[in-house]
Structure 1
């Protein structure tokens, strides 16, 4: 009996000792991985930083970037077997298991050399189609050298010729759709292989892997968000359709039908022309001009990027966040190269390093409204990177892609508050009039509310194709999704002989939009919470609406944000969201509260105008109704 007990005791000691040894081995493994990845990532960041400030013609930096990227991928590939073994053994505490799970997957590199080369070929081909396709002029069909952006875009945004608008819509799809179909089919098959080789049961699980949600959870979150958005979107859609009907007539914009996509794209796209958008959009109150914030910046002496930077830095300091040191600009900031490019590509950007306490900053020398608000987003990243700089490399990331973008855009949203802009004397007093508020919300809504269903369709379409529930050749299924969810239909009849999805997907065929939807919704959720806890938003008080909330000088916000950001990806986004808001799920409450004044105006105005709400299913796509 004693010998049996001794054997059991020795066995338990052995098991405990083995577990402790295995845990020690895992700790050492993770420590080595963190150190090696930091060195590899920093080489890549430094090379890309040089390209940013010197331009893409810096061949040495370009070569260093490519070499660093290749070396990083080879190292990640070498980690896969040992990482998989540790995961199977399930050793160590939950914190170690989470850190282990942060080791990047090999992704496409898991494919065989032949398949990997093919994947790069087809994705490059589709990207090149977007960049290099030339369209033929409407007025001279022999002139076929027009790029979509900016040449055709500029033509369309200034055209009132219905035939011309339809020509370019068809020309773009004729040149891109069928040309990309074979490559897209190959991409789908290779993506399915990639998901299996990376240990996922179906492609949609691989697609949503960075969200820490399985495909059913992600799908449910998206569907609930779209349902919550539907009443506001339908009212907004009805008003835009009414505006299009005034422009193009009832023959082209039929009652109760989806609006033609080509006309809607121009109308909504004009909201992104921030220089005097009222020239291109009929605002709810056309006699009330949008304020010229760019002129206000210059009037207040913010005539260069450096002055804008320190003005924005003072805003963050007023929130109780650490003050940026005086030497940051001279030691860490450099202007972005290639200002001869379109100004839309010129933005401020923070550059993080791993394992060292350093953040670089590239800035756009242009000073205007867009760059002013972008500075809040870029400076948020500076604070974000510094907040988690103590974390190991594997945790030195945001909890899901675009999470930091949500935080940055939340501060940008707060800075666009009319009350804050009046406080800085960037705009004249009286900006908080009802008319100007509605105009502003209408413009903001065109730039955000209308994008959410479009993003949803693009991800839903690809996930359904990848999982095999939707056939690539079923072009009408794509248009059913587009019509049902965005209220748009093709301007002419389409059939399954066409292939229209690539017209929206060619830039990055594997670029996920779900995280952008979550990020957009989250920025309003965060804004609502911070405005509530500071008393700047009171749901039942018309004097404190959410769209006028001014967070400046609310010092309790900074420490809370810095604490949440300090975790990097060491906690799930739900845990970090709970730290910031006491809520663990992303919801539409903030967005709906922010745009509530616009919703009320739309309901009343649509009633006055007698416009119909909602739309019938499209009849513009079937195998029988193809127009030649």
Structure 2
């Protein structure tokens, strides 16, 4: 789930999806403004799978993420090495002071006499910003329109338009950056003017010199090519190869309960993905830090922290995590017991970290896939209204009508007719589209759309409300300058969308929709529901924190290349309470097995949004009179803000400010809170925490975890080729020579050839 709002972002080529050639269907495309005419003689490279990326990975917006924990989109989508032709050379953004080439030209250029006289020569900074706002909005509209046309009708023509539009937009951003960097002292300007200039002055890697930007793009493409083409052979069948992350390995990690198979898949995926990109990653970090310094930051971690406007961001986030940690430790202890009962105490001890490969997910970032073998009350399923929706004859547009009604009930306006005419709310039959749910802002203050291949089920009902939250956010801040049309920080858009989802999924709301006859109020159902949610949202938090804490340590120089992998496992054990199934070394590069590492996409916004959603939900529910601490009749997880004008007022106060003020000020003015507060999440899960505490006390569980052996060593030689068989407390050490290993391999091959 994501929202698209093209803005100041670096130009990075991301290998993401395979281009699918098809004749243009009867698509209702967006009409590009007359000023936008792709260069007929363009030598632009073939559209790289996934297009040009912003710092968050979407070709025109700010929240597309194929590995967002809130979606299950197939990010690999069948890439092959042939996706990148041999002659492919990333060109990056280029400044053309005389304007952009092409019939008609998209922008006249920053050296145009009228532009210079009107702004630079008169020293009218505000006039300059007003002119830039008009130009930025127009260029953004051109770019987003081209990306929309491509994603809703994938073919060669829309592909070329998309690449040209993105190139023009990147050049415009670079031109603005170059212009504003020569303004001189801007510290004496009023805060809003200064803030606009500061935001325009940050363009990420596009600030690199051309040759460095080309190399930066190439390094990222090289790593993503490794990631997207990695495959392994099946467990116990070396002739069944070509298993890829999506759908093969993800499915095995989710469904298999075979310890050895899970260990094999976990290990082989990392050997064939992350391990092969360690050197390239180190080279990329050097250029990434150089780009950060070009944007007046000390390093990439400083650059990534900029939108959060906190001088000690990691310390603030660690404080928030410490507030949540007691609940996580209770969850980890309970899951450890249930897995110990399933796999046996010889594999999972009472006090050790959890083996990372048996948690139902390749990265242990979500544990929802082991709900079936760990659920507190088997057979007490929580609510799913999908059958009732089908019975009542719901169609995909109906889900979005319900979502519109939700926001109208909060005293917000109805959607413009253009939304319904322009959006793609179900998969068309006459053309290929990118089905990832997304919300789009066309930067012209009137055109907002959703693209989603909707199915009639409860999951998509909640997703429809989530995407609609982005649309209303766009509409609320549409009258701000273009540079401020964004969330208060990178986490706010997702946090608000997720907070709305917390209301929509309650029995109270589903009853109001006529999808449930009566509200369900049973302890077993409640605990199962909260437990399932905790396996997703709570288990995710330490993973999200570790991913960027590790990168911040790398970018700052605190961790060197020869420490990459062992530092990763040091943090994973400390914060997640997990360990690898087999001994790791510095030959490995396990962080690279996660998409966001080779793509160089920040991840902390997911950590922040996961906490912030509960904080916003608490404020909305308190205003709606539906939450009272310590009152069992007004519990936070039961709250539904539907039809609450008071809750709508708070949402409006947050949304209408966009990013025009520091996020702490925005949050304080609306809710009276000015920091990230992990206690709201604890309050939401309070019934589950009480149940876990009682259950762990009943069974005498150890709360927390103890380091129980070596998880990573500097080299395989110093590790002595130790193979731990997936556990550490009862490990067996094997010293295997190369001859022995080859001999065993030959025995296996002969056995497969002659006896099977």
Indicate if the aligned counterparts of 2:503 and 2:639 stay in contact, CA closer than 8 A.
yes
What is the TM-score when the length of structure 1 is the normalising length? 0.90
Indicate if the aligned counterparts of 1:257 and 1:615 stay in contact, CA closer than 8 A.
yes
Aligned counterpart for 1:167 among listed residues 258, 264, 277: 264
CA distance in 1, matches of 2:657, 2:123: 23
- 2:593 is the counterpart of 1:503: yes
| Residue 590 (structure 1) shift | 1.4
Residue number in structure 2 paired with 1:601: 691
Question: Per the alignment, in what secondary structure is the counterpart of residue 152 of structure 1?
Answer: helix
| Residue 22 (structure 1) shift | 8.7
Residue number in structure 2 paired with 1:209: 306
Indicate if the aligned counterparts of 2:618 and 2:636 stay in contact, CA closer than 8 A.
yes
- 2:447 is the counterpart of 1:358: yes
| Residue 601 (structure 1) shift | 0.5
- 2:609 is the counterpart of 1:514: no
**Which whole-Å deviations, capped at 9, do the CAs of 1:182-235 have from their partners, x for residues lacking one?**
111111111121111211123321121222223xx2111111011111100000
- 2:207 is the counterpart of 1:110: yes
- 2:382 is the counterpart of 1:287: no
Aligned counterpart for 1:481 among listed residues 543, 559, 571: 571
Residue number in structure 1 paired with 2:27: none
Residue number in structure 1 paired with 2:400: 309
**Which whole-Å deviations, capped at 9, do the CAs of 1:472-516 have from their partners, x for residues lacking one?**
221222111101110000111122232222112456532112111
Question: Per the alignment, in what secondary structure is the counterpart of residue 273 of structure 2?
Answer: helix
Indicate if the aligned counterparts of 1:296 and 1:426 stay in contact, CA closer than 8 A.
yes
Residue number in structure 1 paired with 2:483: 394
Greater displacement, 527-536 / 331-340? 331-340
CA distance in 2, matches of 1:258, 1:342: 45
Residue number in structure 2 paired with 1:553: 643
| Residue 618 (structure 1) shift | 4.9
CA distance in 1, matches of 2:171, 2:365: 42
Greater displacement, 128-137 / 82-91? 82-91
| Residue 556 (structure 1) shift | 1.9
| Residue 392 (structure 1) shift | 1.6
Change (3 A) 1:341 1:21: closer
**Mapping 1:183-582, distance limit 5 Å:** 183-214=280-311, 217-266=312-361, 272=368, 280-302=372-394, 304-325=395-416, 327-328=417-418, 330-335=420-425, 337=427, 346-474=435-563, 475-505=565-595, 509-582=599-672
CA distance in 1, matches of 2:429, 2:550: 37
Question: Per the alignment, in what secondary structure is the counterpart of residue 359 of structure 2?
Answer: helix
CA distance in 2, matches of 1:616, 1:90: 51
RMSD between aligned alpha carbons?
2.5
User: Higher helix share goes to which structure?
Assistant: 1
**Which whole-Å deviations, capped at 9, do the CAs of 1:260-300 have from their partners, x for residues lacking one?**
10012449678656xxx86x343111131222221132234
CA distance in 2, matches of 1:365, 1:550: 24
| Residue 404 (structure 1) shift | 1.2
Indicate if the aligned counterparts of 2:366 and 2:540 stay in contact, CA closer than 8 A.
no
Indicate if the aligned counterparts of 2:152 and 2:432 stay in contact, CA closer than 8 A.
no
- 2:38 is the counterpart of 1:38: no
Residue number in structure 2 paired with 1:587: 677
| Residue 101 (structure 1) shift | 1.4
| Residue 559 (structure 1) shift | 3.1
| Residue 363 (structure 1) shift | 2.9
Change (3 A) 1:308 1:89: closer
CA distance in 1, matches of 2:707, 2:483: 47
| Residue 597 (structure 1) shift | 0.7
Structure 2 unpaired stretches of 5+: 1-118, 724-756
CA distance in 2, matches of 1:359, 1:562: 18
**Which whole-Å deviations, capped at 9, do the CAs of 1:418-459 have from their partners, x for residues lacking one?**
222233332353522111111000000011101110010000
Indicate if the aligned counterparts of 2:487 and 2:493 stay in contact, CA closer than 8 A.
yes
| Residue 52 (structure 1) shift | 2.6
Indicate if the aligned counterparts of 1:53 and 1:337 stay in contact, CA closer than 8 A.
no
CA distance in 2, matches of 1:23, 1:594: 56
Change (3 A) 1:41 1:401: same
Change (3 A) 1:387 1:615: same
Greater displacement, 476-485 / 427-436? 427-436
Question: Per the alignment, in what secondary structure is the counterpart of residue 183 of structure 2?
Answer: helix
Question: Per the alignment, in what secondary structure is the counterpart of residue 536 of structure 2?
Answer: helix
CA distance in 2, matches of 1:291, 1:106: 46
**Which whole-Å deviations, capped at 9, do the CAs of 1:116-154 have from their partners, x for residues lacking one?**
111111111222222111111113212221101111222
Residue number in structure 2 paired with 1:127: 224
Residue number in structure 2 paired with 1:76: 173
**Which whole-Å deviations, capped at 9, do the CAs of 1:531-560 have from their partners, x for residues lacking one?**
112210111311111111121111222233
Residue number in structure 1 paired with 2:76: none
| Residue 414 (structure 1) shift | 1.0
